Amino acid sequence: MDEPTPQLRDKHRLLSELARRRGFFWGSFEIYGGVSGFIDLGPMGTGLKREIEDTWREFFLRRHGFVEISTPIITPQRVLEASGHIKNFKDPMTECTNCHRRFRADQLIKENTGTETEGLDLEQLTILLKQAKCPECGGILGAPQYFVTMFKTNIGPYGEDPAYTRPEAAQGIFVDFHRVLEVMRERFPLGIAQVGTVLRNEISPRQGPIRLREFTIMDFEIFFDPETPECPYLEEVKDDKLFIVTEDTRRKGKNETTRITTAEALEKRLVKSPWMAYFMAQSTRFLAKLGIDQHNQRFFEKLSTERAHYSAQTFDHEVKLDRWDWVEVAGFAYRTDYDLRSHMQATGIDLRVFKAYDSPVEKTIRTIRPSHEKIRQKFGKDAGRIISLLGKEDLPRILQGKKTGDSIRIEAHDIPIELFDTKEETIKETGAKFLPHVIEPSFGVERLVYSTLEHNLRMKDERLILSLPFGIAPIQAAVYPLVNKDGLVEKAQSVHRSLREGGLRVEYDDAGSIGRRYARADEAGIPLGITVDYDTLKDDTVTLRDRDSWNQIRVKVKELKPTIDSIVNTGFPTKTR
């Protein structure tokens, strides 16, 4: 990696200004003074976000035949009770006893004292809070309490149908799992994704575009049979390196990165599931495709105390950012069967999957039945009632461990176990039901947008350039008439139209001097510039300009599309005008 030039030291400020100027993002409700934890995406930001989402779909869904669904943001309380969110999705809050401002207790302690606080309980936080002070007025901080960080509301005009805005899109997937499995004709393993808005009512978010109360998540659950946890695609990435800060390393109080191939990480059980390892490798490639070098990526394993309530192993996929150091852009969680089991328990609906054996299996089972004849002999006119009552009992359980001479009591009668017949029966089972296990890769789109912008920010001759890769650039080329007269406009518009119809994301820009237009396009991350000038009218050629090198070549209009295709594959020619 190149060292950042001195001017690029405060990348967050430079980027925020550029983002506002060129229409990537800015704080929401600006004219109303702003509300922290919300950002707006402008035309360029909305475009970049969509390209990142589509690139993600290609990496994680389409090539595997996995599917995407769409479920509501508003979620009834009973669903989030079953999923464990009402109980667990909360943050410790402290209130200043002097100015009464409220803060997230764990973050405040970390900022004040540097102590790592993830996973600490209220008691531990209470002790640590005594060493901290209110960051606003210096006052004494009160005892911490938990605050459920979901936006609460009600469905309909009744108060009795409480609901929350979803904190993750995953629950919609779990609730729909069986319906989708049926639609997909029981195809297994099954991958189901959802890209959509989630909301987290953070206590006091203060990290601009990084800690948002409302953002887009790409949640993706792969359901597999825990008895056959293999991933058929693993071969493709087995030699890909993973950069991991392991739980083991962290327990030793260290932060070193283990660099290990995907295959080795599985072999050494650093990663517990082949699907997890496969998607971690794909995620590394995905971020590289966005322009984030692997050396600025790492997987940070969570300690058991830090993991979400549903997870057996978790890695945060982190990206190094100038202002915030390592920031999570994706999480990889081994959710086991936690969620399906919880919803199955809460609803009583069987969410297990039937798995046929290769051939039916013969199974011997022991059945216990009261001998009607013997009971009639012993109990006479009471026999009918006794037999009927025995039919309602769980006889195998009741009779377990009993010996000859023992009896069981039904109303006023003692029934000797000798009156029961035990039989061995052979049945054929064609298959069995199991509850799938789940690996979840989950991505925060706005953080990916921000990380992509920061890692593509360059400085050249004291000017900012956003070197977005061609494939994700929201605008891939801009067409400029040199001047707005003498027929250049019509020609430029026709070039613009034909490139647009050829499938390129292309803009037309006729405002200001050509130099200013180039500078603007460099900041907006537009890879190619096409200038129509007086020579164009003579020989039907245009100037094709490269954003990153500022090199220019002269190209025939009719060869523009193939030239651009070849540049996308092999780079811009080095020859300059």
Residues in a beta bridge with 464: 459
The residue from 360, 512, 562, 571 that contacts a copy of itself (CB under 8 A) is: 512
Burial class of residue 114 in the structure, from the number of CB atoms within 10 Å of its CB (0-12 exposed, 13-18 middle, 19+ buried): exposed
Q: By C-beta, is 45 or 189 nearer to a copy of itself? A: 45
Q: How far is the CB of 147 from a copy of itself (least distance, A)?
A: 5
The residue from 14, 184, 312, 398 that contacts a copy of itself (CB under 8 A) is: 184
Question: CB under 8 A: which stretch of 308-316, 400-408, 505-513, 556-564 binds a copy of itself?
Answer: 505-513
Question: CB under 8 A: which stretch of 26-34, 315-323, 366-374, 558-566 binds a copy of itself?
Answer: 26-34
Return the HEC string of 274-293.
Answer: HHHHHHHHHHHHHHHHCCCC
Contact between 201 and a copy of itself per CB under 8 A:
yes
> Distance between CA 336 and CA 272 in Å, rounded?
11
Q: By C-beta, is 184 or 459 nearer to a copy of itself? A: 184
Measure the CA angle with vertex 26, ends 20 and 32; round to 5°: 120
In the DSSP assignment, the letter for residue 4 is: P
Residue 263: closest CA among 299, 221, 234: 234
Contact between 380 and a copy of itself per CB under 8 A:
no
Question: CB under 8 A: which stretch of 172-180, 239-247, 260-268, 289-297 binds a copy of itself?
Answer: 172-180
> Distance between CA 391 and CA 117 in Å, rounded?
57
Q: How far is the CB of 54 from a copy of itself (least distance, A)?
A: 10
* 33-92 positions binding a copy of itself, by CB under 8 A: 35, 37-38, 40-47, 49, 62, 65, 67-76, 78-79
The residue from 12, 102, 133, 458 that contacts a copy of itself (CB under 8 A) is: 102
Contact between 213 and a copy of itself per CB under 8 A:
yes
Q: How far is the CB of 241 from a copy of itself (least distance, A)?
A: 27
Distance, CA of 197 to chain centre: 11
Burial class of residue 478 in the structure, from the number of CB atoms within 10 Å of its CB (0-12 exposed, 13-18 middle, 19+ buried): buried
Q: By C-beta, is 364 or 569 nearer to a copy of itself? A: 569
Q: How far is the CB of 354 from a copy of itself (least distance, A)?
A: 15
Let me know: does 293 contact 455? Beta carbons within 8 Å.
yes
Q: By C-beta, is 30 or 118 nearer to a copy of itself? A: 30
Q: By C-beta, is 214 or 219 nearer to a copy of itself? A: 214
Residue 572: closest CA among 548, 556, 555: 548
Contact between 21 and a copy of itself per CB under 8 A:
yes
Total of chain residues touching a copy of itself, rule CB under 8 A: 78
Q: How far is the CB of 556 from a copy of itself (least distance, A)?
A: 26
Give the count of beta carbons closer than 10 Å to the beta carbon of residue 148.
17
The residue from 8, 12, 14, 28 that contacts a copy of itself (CB under 8 A) is: 28
Helices (H), 184-273: 247-251, 262-267
Written as one letter, the residue type at 551 is: N
Q: By C-beta, is 76 or 471 nearer to a copy of itself? A: 76
Give the count of beta carbons closer than 10 Å to the beta carbon of residue 56.
24
In order, the DSSP letters of 363-430 are EEEEEEEE-HHHHHHHHGGGHHHHHHHHHTS-HHHHHTT--TT-EEEETTEEEEGGGEEEEEEEEEEE
The residue from 214, 339, 440, 523 that contacts a copy of itself (CB under 8 A) is: 214
Q: By C-beta, is 76 or 135 nearer to a copy of itself? A: 76
Contact between 204 and a copy of itself per CB under 8 A:
yes
* 417-436 positions binding a copy of itself, by CB under 8 A: none
Peptide bond into 416 cis (omega under 30): no
> Distance between CA 239 and CA 267 in Å, rounded?
13
Q: How far is the CB of 493 from a copy of itself (least distance, A)?
A: 11
* 296-355 positions binding a copy of itself, by CB under 8 A: 343, 346-347, 349, 351
* 537-576 positions binding a copy of itself, by CB under 8 A: none
> Distance between CA 212 and CA 215 in Å, rounded?
6
Residue 93: closest CA among 143, 43, 30, 168: 143
The residue from 31, 362, 424, 570 that contacts a copy of itself (CB under 8 A) is: 31
In the DSSP assignment, the letter for residue 188 is: S
Contact between 175 and a copy of itself per CB under 8 A:
yes
The residue from 140, 155, 303, 356 that contacts a copy of itself (CB under 8 A) is: 155
The residue from 88, 97, 154, 430 that contacts a copy of itself (CB under 8 A) is: 154
Question: CB under 8 A: which stretch of 126-134, 157-165, 244-252, 371-379 binds a copy of itself?
Answer: 157-165
* 110-149 positions binding a copy of itself, by CB under 8 A: 147
> Distance between CA 26 and CA 29 in Å, rounded?
9
Q: How far is the CB of 177 from a copy of itself (least distance, A)?
A: 9
